Amino acid sequence: MAQGRERDEGPHSAGGASLSVRWVQGFPKQNVHFVNDNTICYPCGNYVIFINIETKKKTVLQCSNGIVGVMATNIPCEVVAFSDRKLKPLIYVYSFPGLTRRTKLKGNILLDYTLLSFSYCGTYLASYSSLPEFELALWNWESSIILCKKSQPGMDVNQMSFNPMNWRQLCLSSPSTVSVWTIERSNQEHCFRARSVKLPLEDGSFFNETDVVFPQSLPKDLIYGPVLPLSAIAGLVGKEAETFRPKDDLYPLLHPTMHCWTPTSDLYIGCEEGHLLMINGDTLQVTVLNKIEEESPLEDRRNFISPVTLVYQKEGVLASGIDGFVYSFIIKDRSYMIEDFLEIERPVEHMTFSPNYTVLLIQTDKGSVYIYTFGKEPTLNKVLDACDGKFQAIDFITPGTQYFMTLTYSGEICVWWLEDCACVSKIYLNTLATVLACCPSSLSAAVGTEDGSVYFISVYDKESPQVVHKAFLSESSVQHVVYDQQGIFLLVGTAEGKVFIINANSSSSFQIIGFTEVAKDILQISTVSLLETDIVEVMVLSSLPEAGRSRLEMFTLPTLLPQVSTTFADERGRLKDEIIHKYLYELEHALSSAVLGFQSNQIYGFCSQVPYICSYLLPEEEHTGIYILKPYKKVQSRQYGPGLLYLSSHGLWLITIAKCGILCIRDVYTLETFAWCRSHSHQGHGIQSMRISMDGQNILVNGRDDGTLVYLKWKRFGGHLASEILDYYQKLLISLSSAMDKENHYLSTTPKVSVDLGSDSEHTVIRRIRSRDIAQEAKAEVQVAMMEVEESCAKERSGGFQKQKASTDLSQDELVLTDVKKEIPWIQQKSQEAIKKEVNLFSKKRKEIKQGIKSLSKTILNMMEENDKLENIAKLDQQEFGLDLEELERLHDESQEEVAKMIKDVEMHNLAKSYLAELIKEECWNSMAVKGRALKCFHIPCVVENFPMKARTVEELKELERVLQQKKIEAECLKLRKEIVEAQSGVKLIKQRHEEDDEEEEEEDKTVKYSNLPNYLLGSLSTDFGVDTSLLSSQLELHSREEKINQIILLKDIIYKVKTVFNNEFDAAYKQKEFEIARVKERNVRIREIILDLELEEAVWQPEFEDCEKPERTLVVQDEEITAHKHIKPWHKAKELIVNHEKEHWLLIQDASTRLRALMDMMGGVLEVKKEDILRMVIPQPAFMAKPDAVWTEEERKQFKDYEKKVKELNEERDKYRKSLEAELKKLQNSIQESTQAFDEHLKRLFERRVKAEMVTNQEELKISNLAFSLLLDEELSSREKFLNNYLTRKQHEKSQTSEAVRKSREDLDVCKEHYDNLLAEDKVMDRSFKKEFSEIPGHQVDILYKLFKRRPRISKQKTHSETTSVVPFGELPGSGKLNKDAFAQLMKAMDELDNISNMPEGLDPLVWNHFCMTRRAKVENEQKVKQKAADLLEMATFLQKRVEEEEKVQQEIERVFHELILLQEEKVRFQLNLTIQILLKQGQVELENFQLVLEYSDAILINKNIIEDLNSVIRNHIIWISNVLF
């Protein structure tokens, strides 16, 4: 397995030096347990940590196979059991306090154990695993064997506990279920028996569940057949039918959170909904305890208590919720009252009592542990104060021999005493922190944060650390904080790829010298600062993931840099590359870590893809660009996963850590390992970081995900290894002593910086996160505003400087946005200072440029004004006046992109709509063989619709053909059978006389019978539509499933034919309406002419087809339906212009034709006057009529008389013609009215036909529904029958198992009884043969010895203290095997006192006394065996009795199934015979009164009357034959 491979491949020490674990610091993530009255323990990473609650002393037990899984303790035996987390995990049992392994338990679990629990008495251990086994197992941990196990697939358990008063009971609970498991034992055989608790509903009420397998309360339906269980209706026939419930029958139940046992073997269950349940351990009866409200109720936030943990105490339980309070539930009868017991700072996650019930352990969600001691003056002590999260970074406080510091992600900084890991002090930064480093030259530390700041912490006073300075470098998070070896510089690496150099001396107020830019993904920063040199060499490792390489950037910092920093950096704070001698290197493979050797020409790297450690030689000569480094030496690391490299203070040890969790110390020259230690595991993702002290004696190792901090010490450390590092350590201390004294003195006098610090880390961190989000939002708003300003300026420039002149006086100093509340990073401050300097330096030049821009804008505006006055052909486009063509082109491209995006979105939207429309059209239109349409009457509101129909598929036609063929064959068979039966009947002589007549009558009867059956028997009026129903089976003959299916197919065919007949009639009417509309349209032409001639203002009635009559018009979009403006393409516009131009030209030509105009004016454009134009004819008046009558001449008077005569004749002609037109108009209108009304009458009859067709269709569909229901009920009956047969098979199999168990139990009982009888006989023999064995001695001595032989020692029971008895609710635990062994050992010890020589009678030979003592001891041992065997016999008899009861119960179940099967078969036969038929009744029949009818039909049957008629005819013919014979 993986862990085994870790052990095999782990590096081995080459010399005598080795490392050992001194202590482990970590906080519990699982429940804390008591081992004895004074010791608690909990798992943490690879370790189990034991803490003495009185002395606070820690003891550590390391798991050899990685991370510790689940854990449990056995207090009477003082052992602890835990599992590992590897493939096929093991369970280890260790004794305490010796921490020696007692045993190792190996099961068949594949992934992980989730729960372990010891029994309170005996040597039993229960284990539970989740996926994939879900297996509960019972172990005898002393003998390392599994006594029994059982799998429960899908049952996820979160709590498991033994009954303290009865080890045979085990409770398993989850958020949805509670089950009690009973362990039954017979001799050496054990087995589990599980019983589930029926939980109440969420409101605390109980739900009456019905038996799913054999329901007793199902209603009886006399019309629609038997009512079956829901599982049969669902078609379930397997095991799932036993527990099936539909969704509507599932009600939310209470959700248990915790349980605890009581001395009466009852259970208390706490629920999420706030209810407290009491469960009887024997009957599993659930009682919802009533809550008694106090007069002064608790605060509103504590009115609802959802227990997270429960512990039992006398008269009630102690419970805790998520509000940080511990409550006391005082329970009396079926009610309880809540009282406040204790208040804790954090939510309580776990509570448990010590074995003597004098101490209550309280564990919070953060991992802190409190001890509440009961007594006259109760006390609450904090045993373990957990940090706020896992350790993010660690480091030694210089020189690393007494104190060290830790940092968490929430900003909690702790100072610890190195010797025993006692917390000295804490400080909260109230911000998200990332890295930590301690300064070698002073008692200070630097902390990098997520918001880009570096906090400098003074630890001059270890018990009161304080923040002395804060440097806000940039808005990018700080990822690396590194001091050089002499503590001259602090190098800070950020996420954006900047490395800041800060003066590490506090006396310089931690001056920021500058920064240099490197690659963004910084992996590690390494420095070399030797005592004999005046420079600090820095190397930065970055990754190039795209190229699969790594980059090294090296530069040099002189120690005098703080004094001359201005010459090394520019105005923006960037260090000049040529002055710091910056060089770039690349490696052809990826490294996860790299350090710079003290030899200054060598680099050590840890490969990330392959398990190798390589060294690289740097080139001696200078170079430009990127230099590719090649490996100089390559050694296998024997560590897998990404790793990190560190150098010791003297540079001769190379320390490697990796994901495998192994720490190796190597020689820097040979790269060989001389010491190693497995402090963590790959299951916790190995080691995150490590720190080694200056003297090399102390090593701290921090896990990545397991939350453990391990302190390593040397076991055997001496020789040149120790001398080299100790000598260098002394030199380094001497070199740093003066600087340390100076800086520490300055730190001791430095005042504290006022930053937002506090103790409640979580809330302050949340406030910090919110403030940071607000600042980021404000920054984003400022950036958006700047972009809008720039965009508007660009648009103004591209628009050509409109007449209203835009202001061009925008400058950088005028756009500076000041925010008093917001803190500006150092890099931005330097940038702003540089900008201000540049503004001041180039202010004159800027003014000149502004003036030039103003004059240029005026010139352009003048040019634009002149351009507007020019003609169109000479005008320039406004784009020609744009100066910033690139910006204009960019805006144009952006607009084009937006337009393209919108076009694409619209096209996709239209495509989706078109696809949906095609689907609807295909389903509702194209797939229809007969399209649905309607017909409307002309004058009355009557609408007739046809039947939309789909074409029948090939499969349906084949199935119909098969049924028709089968029906024809059946009809022929029936005909032949009838002829055979009639030939053999007793009426043969009569039929022979009238053979020909009878055959004709039979043929007529048959044709009538098969073609003209009465409608009341058919159940529908389908024959009215001419549909052949001769192949339909009688409704009284449909018994089999196949007949019903064939009948359904034939009925569907009849429906199809009825609809087809009506649709044909509908099509004929539709064509008639088309003809009528065409005829009306033809007549309306003449009507319009007449109306025009008569100059009437009447509207012509023109009928048209509506959309419902022509539904295909819905699928075509007309131009007038589109409301949007039509987009006309340019060439279409050009074509329209040409057409309009040609039309104007034609009109000009028409104006020039005077002849045509005259003809139009005089004669209406025609040369001959038609009769129809007589009404419009006007006789022109003579010209002289304008003069007065007196001046007329005779000739003029004659002309006037002729004019009057012509006018009179014209008027008479007009009247005649008008009357003829009016008569013709009335005739045409009457003709239209008659024809349309005739059509309306025909459509009314068609409407009645439609109603009748729909009625026939509904009748046939009703018959189909009844047949389908009977088929469905038949399937349900078959499903029920299959389920009962399967259930019977399972019960029979169970019966065979129980019978086998009973047989085996009887055999075991007989064997045990035989052994018991033998032991009892031996005991009696020993009693009877006593005097014979001592027959050689005098009789009175034999009598004395026999009295001593019967004497037994009195064993004094240990009296428990009254105080302990009054406190411990469970008292003395019964049934313990260990107690039995102790009692027997105590009896043997008391026998030693009786066997003492002082108890020997006077005058008895010592040899005889010794023989007597041996005989008496054998007798006592035999008596103990008889007692033990009697107890075993009683236990086996009880076991046998339970197996017999189980066998009887299974037998009852089998008999019940047989009875249910018989009833089901009777129901099935009754259902097949009791048919549902459909009978038509005429409307309007007179109903009789109830008293005139027979209302009781329980003994009546419904049969075909033809049977009675045939029987009557046979009787009648028989009587006639007899009369003919007799007379």
Residue 213 one-letter amino acid: V
1403 pLDDT band (50/70/90 cuts)? Answer: confident
Q: Which of 232, 218, 231, 238 is nearest to 1272 (CA)?
A: 232
Q: Which helix (H) or strand (E) holds 1088?
A: helix 1041-1094
- For 146, 162, 771, the CA distances from 114, given in Å and listed in that order, are 17, 16, 41
Q: How many whole angstroms separate alpha carbon 606 and alpha carbon 118?
A: 46
Residue 1466 has pLDDT above 60, yes or no: yes
- Inter-residue contact 449 to 497 (CB < 8 Å): no
Q: How many whole angstroms separate alpha carbon 1358 and alpha carbon 549?
A: 75
CB atoms closer than 10 angstroms to residue 28: 24
Q: Which of 682, 703, 699, 681 is nearest to 691 (CA)?
A: 699
What are φ and ψ of residue 1348, in 5° steps? -65, -30
Task: Mark out the alpha helices in 879-953 (DSSP H runs).
Answer: 885-921
Angle at 278 between CA 272 and CA 279, to 5 degrees: 110
Q: What is the pLDDT of residue 1357?
A: 53
Q: What is the pLDDT of residue 1409?
A: 81
Q: What is the pLDDT of residue 546?
A: 85
Q: What is the pLDDT of residue 846?
A: 84
Kindly state the percentage of the chain with pLDDT values over 90.
34
Average pLDDT over residues 378-404: 90
Q: What is the pLDDT of residue 1378?
A: 52
Q: What is the pLDDT of residue 722?
A: 84
Q: Which of 170, 135, 181 is nearest to 156 (CA)?
A: 135
Cis bond leading into 1401, ω under 30°?
Answer: no
What are φ and ψ of residue 24, in 5° steps? -130, 130
Angle at 1345 between CA 1340 and CA 1350, to 5 degrees: 130
Residue 811 has pLDDT above 80, yes or no: no
Per-residue pLDDT reduced to its tens digit, 814-868: 333 334 457 899 999 999 988 888 888 888 888 888 888 888 888 888 888 888 8
- For 413, 980, 1037, 1514, the CA distances from 1511, given in Å and listed in that order, are 109, 18, 18, 5
Q: What is the pLDDT of residue 784?
A: 41
Burial 1258-1277 (b: 16+ CB within 10 A, else e): ebbeebbebbeebeebbebb
Q: How many whole angstroms separate alpha carbon 824 and alpha carbon 512?
A: 15
Q: What is the pLDDT of residue 756?
A: 55
1166 pLDDT band (50/70/90 cuts)? Answer: very low
Between 461-465, 501-505, 1414-1418, the lowest mean confidence (pLDDT) is in: 1414-1418
Quote the pTM value: 0.76
Residue 447 has pLDDT above 90, yes or no: yes
Residue 559 one-letter amino acid: T
Q: How many whole angstroms separate alpha carbon 745 and alpha carbon 458?
A: 11
Kindly state the percentage of the chain with pLDDT values over 70.
85
Query: Look-up: residue for tokens 């059509």?
Result: 1239
Between 165-169, 420-424, 456-460, 1166-1170, the lowest mean confidence (pLDDT) is in: 1166-1170
DSSP 1246: H
Pair of tokens at residue 166: 């009865």
Strands 612-617 and 631-636: antiparallel
Residue 896 has pLDDT above 70, yes or no: yes
Q: How many whole angstroms separate alpha carbon 1087 and alpha carbon 1098?
A: 10
- For residue 770, count CB atoms less than 10 angstroms from its CB and return exposed for 0-12, middle for 13-18, buried for 19 or more: exposed
Residue 425 has pLDDT above 70, yes or no: yes
Q: What is the pLDDT of residue 526?
A: 94
How far is Cα of residue 506 from the mean position of the Cα atoms in its chain?
53
Q: What is the pLDDT of residue 187?
A: 78
Q: What is the pLDDT of residue 1487?
A: 54
Residue 1345 has pLDDT above 50, yes or no: yes
Residue 53 one-letter amino acid: I
Q: What is the pLDDT of residue 1309?
A: 86
- Inter-residue contact 1036 to 1504 (CB < 8 Å): yes
710 pLDDT band (50/70/90 cuts)? Answer: very high
Q: Which helix (H) or strand (E) holds 1000?
A: helix 995-1011
292 pLDDT band (50/70/90 cuts)? Answer: confident
Pair of tokens at residue 731: 């030199």
* Overall residue count recorded for the chain in this entry: 1527
Between 82-91, 543-552, 1499-1508, the lowest mean confidence (pLDDT) is in: 1499-1508
1119 pLDDT band (50/70/90 cuts)? Answer: confident
Residue 1437 has pLDDT above 60, yes or no: yes
Q: What is the pLDDT of residue 106?
A: 92
More confidently predicted of 225 and 1249 = 1249
Residue 1317 one-letter amino acid: D
Between 118-122, 992-996, 1239-1243, 1454-1458, the lowest mean confidence (pLDDT) is in: 992-996
513 by DSSP, 3-state: which? strand
Residue 10 has pLDDT above 50, yes or no: no
Residue 807 has pLDDT above 70, yes or no: no
1157 pLDDT band (50/70/90 cuts)? Answer: low
- For 48, 402, 404, 412, the CA distances from 419, given in Å and listed in that order, are 19, 7, 10, 21
Between 792-801, 1166-1175, 1448-1457, the lowest mean confidence (pLDDT) is in: 792-801
More confidently predicted of 47 and 1409 = 47
Long-range contacts (CB closer than 8 Å, 24 or more residues apart) made by 782-789 = 782/817, 786/815, 789/815
Average pLDDT over residues 946-963: 92
Q: What is the pLDDT of residue 341?
A: 86
Q: Which of 59, 115, 119, 75 is nearest to 91 (CA)?
A: 115
Burial 793-811 (b: 16+ CB within 10 A, else e): beebbbebbeeeeeebeee
1381 by DSSP, 3-state: which? helix
Report the chain's terminal Cα–Cα distance, integer Å.
111
Q: What is the pLDDT of residue 1131?
A: 74
Per-residue pLDDT reduced to its tens digit, 301-331: 454 567 788 898 887 899 987 888 888 888 8
241 pLDDT band (50/70/90 cuts)? Answer: confident
1150 pLDDT band (50/70/90 cuts)? Answer: low
Pair of tokens at residue 1220: 């003829």
Per-residue pLDDT reduced to its tens digit, 1188-1206: 877 788 888 888 888 888 8
- For 169, 286, 518, the CA distances from 280, given in Å and listed in that order, are 12, 7, 71
Average pLDDT over residues 913-937: 91
Pair of tokens at residue 1112: 């295909």
Write the CB contacts of 816 (distance below 8 Å, at least 6 apart in sequence): 832
Average pLDDT over residues 128-136: 90
Per-residue pLDDT reduced to its tens digit, 1234-1290: 999 999 999 999 999 999 999 999 999 999 999 999 899 899 999 999 999 999 999
Average pLDDT over residues 415-441: 92
Burial 1279-1298 (b: 16+ CB within 10 A, else e): bbbbbbeebbebbeebbeeb
70 by DSSP, 3-state: which? strand
Q: What is the pLDDT of residue 1200?
A: 83
Pair of tokens at residue 559: 């120690």
Write the CB contacts of 492 (distance below 8 Å, at least 6 apart in sequence): 446, 448, 454, 473, 478, 480, 481, 499, 500, 502
When the pLDDT of each residue in the chain is averaged and rounded to a whole number, the result is 82
- Inter-residue contact 65 to 743 (CB < 8 Å): no
More confidently predicted of 438 and 1424 = 438
- For 470, 935, 1058, 1062, the CA distances from 1068, given in Å and listed in that order, are 97, 11, 16, 10
Where are the strands (E) in 344-465, listed by range?
348-353, 359-364, 369-373, 379-384, 391-396, 403-408, 412-417, 422-428, 433-438, 444-449, 453-458
Average pLDDT over residues 1479-1503: 62
Angle at 991 between CA 988 and CA 997, to 5 degrees: 165
Per-residue pLDDT reduced to its tens digit, 1421-1433: 888 888 888 888 8
Q: What is the pLDDT of residue 127?
A: 94
CA dihedral 1051, 1056, 1062, 1066 (to 10 degrees): 160
